């Protein structure tokens, strides 16, 4: 029911806002007050007004129904005082009231603007329409993200969907019978409608694609989520429908539009009839796909975003182990990166497993040298053991199982698994951030190159629309723009700690190193050792072992990453946070020294 309400809400939004967009941006500039098309224009104007009013009614009703449904999750909606408290005190309730109040204002503004398209009336209805879209974004998943950018991106996404999808609904509702009754008059005008709407649609599709990529990055942790999470599956369905509609739009742009232009120059009734009928059929199919896409969008908003893999995926292994059979089961714990192992041993000859058989697990990361976690399994009953470990970061991991029977050689086997998340993910945010551009010259160069590619793509599309390049160059320009956009977004869409891209403000000089060394000896060496190799006096009793700060994995992390860990510690390990012990300057001094453990300063001559 929730998904149905959201779907009706979005479809009614297209009816409500798509009518003004199509009428003011596409229909009026071409048909206007043409004396030979007054009857057709009057008939279509009536359809647009009815569509907008119907959309407004459905939008308000579905919005109110959804507000009551949301209120029922926290209060009793049958008690007016509690319902009113929800509507006036919560953001969701406030935005629901706001939408219900400004929708009639938007309709009134359009009804004033549609006849003469007066600048003030058009501006007024446009501002109210944008405010309406922003109110929807303020109750979306984007509103839960930090910063203004996700909200802005979501609002642009909605505007682009209204421009393309809402416009298509009214394009499909054109007075086709009137067109077919007088093709000699309308063929050229229909061609201009297709051309004008195609230009609007190209802008909208580019905006949908760009903001869609941003939203997918913010709300989907990876391609795997598309197949295994409800949110990802709904998004995949929406993308499939979007792709199909885009393919039909390409036929309009590259085949039907040019065909109608040719008919305007050399009119042939039979060809014009076929072209217009084909256009009508394809536009109505495309509009139907948009409606289906809105159903997927409605379902999408009812699911929690798949921003992070929820847990380590449960897995089982069965391995022969000498004269025994090993069954190893791995399951997630409630702790981020936490894993619990259940070990079952069985003698192949059916005799009981000796009660003093010892089992140990050794976990290590394959991708990076993160050290080895030595986990002694706890016996539960003869042949049954349990152990708890920690996956520090996402990647490929390996677990070695060592079984030591009494008075017999130890038995070993190794299993592999892929971890989609780890303890180091705690605190990381998927977000839009301009800081990486200035962080490295490679990122800056990527953004410059991205801008040049996008500029070239815009020129190609513009030149094609102006007939300076062949029409087939438009898809080439769109591909260029997609490539340039992905290159640029790959730099500014980051999955990182809030401090990742902060540069160390302290100079790389010996005085800073001396202070950093003193801090390291006072706070870190007891675990990490005097030379930072993870062999301090307390290391033997820690599991997982302290990191070797002289190994290559340190270079994979920025100074800002290390700053975050010094401040907040690392969950599931003995690494504490020093936010109540060290100052910000001391953090940076310590980080300079930690870097010198792997890359010592050259000795002065």
Task: Compute the average pLDDT of residues 42-57.
Answer: 92
Nearest 5°: the CA angle 62, 63, 65 is: 60
> Between these two residues, 139 and 120, which has the higher pLDDT value?
139
Tally: H helices and E strands in the chain: 21, 11
Of residues 272, 250, 258, the one with CA closest to residue 470:
258
Instruction: State the pLDDT at residue 142.
Output: 84
Of residues 547, 566, 450, 546, the one with CA closest to residue 502:
566
Sequence-separated (6 or more) residues with CB below 8 Å from residue 465: 199, 474
Place of tokens 């998943």: 141
Instruction: State the pLDDT at residue 379.
Output: 92
Task: Compute the average pLDDT of residues 378-392.
Answer: 90
* Max Cα distance, the chain (Å): 105
Confidence of residue 590 (pLDDT cuts 50, 70, 90): very high
Instruction: State the pLDDT at residue 298.
Output: 86
Task: Compute the average pLDDT of residues 123-142.
Answer: 87
Q: How many domains does the chain have?
A: 3
> Between these two residues, 298 and 12, which has the higher pLDDT value?
12
Of residues 247, 217, 211, the one with CA closest to residue 232:
217
307-311, 422-426, 458-462, 491-495: segment of lowest average pLDDT: 307-311
Q: Clarify whether residues 13 and 153 are in a common domain.
A: yes
Instruction: State the pLDDT at residue 605.
Output: 44
Q: Clarify whether residues 267 and 321 are in a common domain.
A: no
Residue 354, in any domain of the structure: yes
Work out the number of other CB atoms within 10 angstroms of the CB of residue 584: 11
Instruction: State the pLDDT at residue 562.
Output: 93
Residue 61 reports pLDDT greater than 90:
yes
Q: Clarify whether residues 94 and 229 are in a common domain.
A: yes
> Which residues on adjacent β-strands are paired with residue 418?
396
Specify the pairing of strand 384-390 against strand 338-347: antiparallel
Q: Clarify whether residues 299 and 343 are in a common domain.
A: no
* Residue 362: alpha-carbon gap to chain centroid: 36
Instruction: State the pLDDT at residue 267.
Output: 64
Task: Compute the average pLDDT of residues 547-561.
Answer: 87
Residue 571, in any domain of the structure: yes
pLDDT in tens, 76-127: 888 888 888 888 888 888 898 999 999 999 988 888 776 666 677 778 888 8
Residue 166 reports pLDDT greater than 50:
yes
pLDDT in tens, 225-251: 787 788 888 889 998 999 898 888 888
CA atoms 270, 271, 277, 281: torsion sign:
positive
Sequence-separated (6 or more) residues with CB below 8 Å from residue 103: 16, 56, 59, 60, 132
Instruction: State the pLDDT at residue 184.
Output: 76
User: The pTM is what?
Assistant: 0.77
Residue 603, in any domain of the structure: no
CA atoms 90, 93, 97, 99: torsion sign:
positive
Rounded to the nearest 5°, which phi and psi values hold at 546?
A: -60, 150
Quick one: what percent of the chain has pLDDT higher than 90?
30
Of residues 435, 352, 344, 325, the one with CA closest to residue 387:
344
Provide the CATH number for the domain around residue 545: 1.10.760.10
Instruction: State the pLDDT at residue 13.
Output: 93
- Domain stops at, among 391, 425, 459: 425
Distance CA 524, CA 537 (A): 11
Residue 362 reports pLDDT greater than 60:
yes
Instruction: State the pLDDT at residue 310.
Output: 58
Distance CA 544, CA 385 (A): 20
For 31-56, what is the HEC assignment? HCCCHHHHHHHHHHHHHHHHHHHHHH
156-160, 345-349, 356-360, 369-373: segment of lowest average pLDDT: 369-373
Q: Clarify whether residues 107 and 163 are in a common domain.
A: yes
> Which residues on adjacent β-strands are paired with residue 306?
220
Instruction: State the pLDDT at residue 187.
Output: 79
Distance CA 223, CA 298 (A): 21
Q: Clarify whether residues 348 and 291 are in a common domain.
A: no
Q: Clarify whether residues 421 and 520 are in a common domain.
A: no
Task: Compute the average pLDDT of residues 519-533.
Answer: 91
140-149, 406-415, 524-533, 581-590: segment of lowest average pLDDT: 140-149
Residue 573, in any domain of the structure: yes
Burial class from Cβ neighbours inside 10 Å (0-12, 13-18, 19+) for residue 556 reads exposed
CA atoms 586, 592, 593, 598: torsion sign:
positive
Instruction: State the pLDDT at residue 58.
Output: 94
Instruction: State the pLDDT at residue 390.
Output: 83
Work out the number of other CB atoms within 10 angstroms of the CB of residue 116: 11
For 359-426, what is the HEC assignment? EEEEEEECCCCCCEEEEECEEEECCEEEEEEECCCCEEEEEEEEEECCCCCCEEEEEEEEECCCHHHC
Specify the pairing of strand 338-347 against strand 324-332: antiparallel
DSSP annotation of 77 reads T
As given in the structure block, the two tokens for residue 282 are 């394809």
Residue 462 reports pLDDT greater than 90:
no
Instruction: State the pLDDT at residue 571.
Output: 74
**How confident is the prediction for the chain on average, in pLDDT?**
86
Residue 604, in any domain of the structure: no
> Which residues on adjacent β-strands are paired with residue 381?
384
Distance CA 415, CA 410 (A): 17
> Between these two residues, 169 and 425, which has the higher pLDDT value?
169
- Domain stops at, among 307, 332, 352: 307
Sequence-separated (6 or more) residues with CB below 8 Å from residue 583: none
Half-sphere exposure (Cβ direction) of 9: Cα atoms closer than 13 Å: 29
- Domain stops at, among 251, 272, 307: 307
Residue 433, in any domain of the structure: no
Residue 111, in any domain of the structure: yes
Q: Clarify whether residues 303 and 327 are in a common domain.
A: no
Q: Clarify whether residues 257 and 331 are in a common domain.
A: no
As given in the structure block, the two tokens for residue 303 are 């699911």
Of all helices (H) and strands (E), which one includes residue 283? helix 269-300
As given in the structure block, the two tokens for residue 268 are 């042939």
Q: Clarify whether residues 407 and 326 are in a common domain.
A: yes
Residue 591 reports pLDDT greater than 90:
yes
Owning domain of residue 246: 2-307
Residue 279 reports pLDDT greater than 80:
yes
Distance CA 345, CA 424 (A): 33
Distance CA 196, CA 246 (A): 16
220-229, 431-440, 579-588, 591-600: segment of lowest average pLDDT: 220-229
Work out the number of other CB atoms within 10 angstroms of the CB of residue 41: 17
Residue 319, in any domain of the structure: yes
Given a contact cutoff of 8 angstroms between Cβ atoms, the answer to whether 564 and 382 are in contact is no
> Which residues on adjacent β-strands are paired with residue 365?
397
Q: Clarify whether residues 31 and 166 are in a common domain.
A: yes
Q: How far is CA 8 from CA 42, 130, 266, 299, 486, in A?
A: 28, 20, 44, 11, 33
pLDDT in tens, 195-229: 889 889 888 988 998 898 888 888 887 777 787 78
Residue 353 reports pLDDT greater than 90:
no
> Between these two residues, 77 and 519, which has the higher pLDDT value?
519
169-178, 180-189, 388-397, 400-409: segment of lowest average pLDDT: 180-189
Q: Clarify whether residues 183 and 51 are in a common domain.
A: yes
Distance CA 494, CA 489 (A): 9
Residue 604 reports pLDDT greater than 60:
no
264-278, 312-326, 382-396: segment of lowest average pLDDT: 264-278
């Amino acid at each position: 029911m929730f998904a149905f309400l959201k779907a009706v809400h979005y479809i009614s939004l297209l009816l409500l806002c798509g009518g003004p967009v199509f009428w003011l941006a596409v229909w009026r500039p071409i048909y206007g007050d043409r004396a030979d098309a007054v009857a057709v224009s009057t008939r279509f104007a009536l359809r647009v007004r009815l569509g907008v009013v119907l959309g407004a009614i459905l939008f308000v009703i579905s919005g109110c129904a959804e507000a009551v449904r949301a209120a029922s999750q926290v209060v009793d909606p049958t008690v007016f005082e509690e319902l009113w408290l929800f509507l006036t005190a919560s953001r969701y309730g406030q935005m629901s009231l706001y939408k219900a109040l400004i929708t009639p204002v938007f309709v009134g503004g359009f009804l004033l603007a549609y006849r003469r398209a007066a600048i003030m009336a058009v501006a007024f209805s446009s501002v109210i329409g944008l405010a309406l879209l922003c109110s929807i974004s303020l109750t979306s998943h984007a509103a839960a993200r930090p910063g203004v950018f996700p909200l802005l991106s979501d609002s642009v996404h909605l505007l682009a969907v209204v421009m393309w999808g809402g416009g298509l609904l009214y394009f499909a509702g054109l007075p086709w019978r009137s067109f077919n009754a007088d093709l000699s008059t309308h063929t050229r005008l229909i061609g201009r409608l297709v051309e004008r709407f195609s230009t609007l649609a190209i802008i909208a599709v580019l905006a949908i694609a760009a903001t869609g990529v941003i939203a997918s990055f913010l709300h989907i942790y990876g391609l795997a989520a598309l197949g295994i999470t409800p949110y990802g599956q709904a998004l995949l369905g929406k993308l499939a429908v979007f792709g199909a509609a885009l393919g039909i739009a390409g036929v309009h742009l590259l085949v039907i539009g040019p065909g109608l232009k040719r008919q305007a120059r050399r009119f042939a009734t039979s060809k014009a009839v076929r072209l217009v009928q084909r256009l009508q059929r394809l536009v109505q199919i495309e509009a139907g796909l948009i409606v289906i896409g809105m159903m997927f969008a409605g379902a999408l908003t009812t699911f929690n975003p798949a921003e992070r893999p929820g847990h380590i995926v449960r897995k089982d292994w069965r391995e022969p182990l000498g004269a025994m059979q090993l069954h190893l089961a791995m399951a997630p714990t409630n702790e981020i990166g936490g894993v619990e192992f259940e070990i079952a041993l069985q003698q192949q000859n059916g005799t009981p497993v000796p009660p003093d058989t010892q089992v140990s697990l050794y976990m290590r990361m394959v991708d990076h040298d993160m050290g080895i976690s030595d986990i002694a399994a706890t016996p539960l009953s003869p042949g049954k053991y349990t152990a708890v470990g920690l996956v520090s970061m996402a990647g490929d991991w390996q677990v070695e199982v060592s079984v030591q029977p009494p008075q017999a050689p130890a038995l070993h086997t190794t299993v592999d698994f892929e971890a989609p998340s780890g303890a180091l993910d705690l605190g990381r945010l998927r977000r839009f951030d301009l800081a990486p551009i200035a962080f490295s010259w490679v990122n800056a160069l990527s953004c410059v190159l991205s801008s040049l590619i996008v500029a070239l793509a815009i020129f190609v599309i513009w030149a094609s629309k102006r007939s300076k390049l062949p029409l087939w160059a438009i898809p080439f320009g769109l591909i260029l723009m997609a490539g340039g956009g992905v290159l640029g977004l790959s730099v500014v869409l980051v999955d990182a700690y809030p401090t990742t891209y902060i540069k160390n403000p302290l100079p790389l000089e010996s005085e800073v190193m001396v202070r950093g060394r003193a801090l390291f000896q006072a706070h870190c060496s007891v675990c990490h050792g005097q030379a930072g190799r993870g062999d301090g006096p307390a290391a033997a009793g820690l599991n997982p072992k302290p990191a070797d700060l002289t190994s290559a994995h340190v270079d994979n992390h920025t100074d800002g990453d290390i700053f975050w860990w010094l401040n907040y510690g690392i969950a599931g390990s003995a690494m504490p946070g020093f936010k109540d012990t060290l100052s910000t300057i001391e953090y940076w001094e310590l980080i300079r020294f930690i870097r010198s453990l792997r890359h010592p300063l050259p000795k002065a001559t």
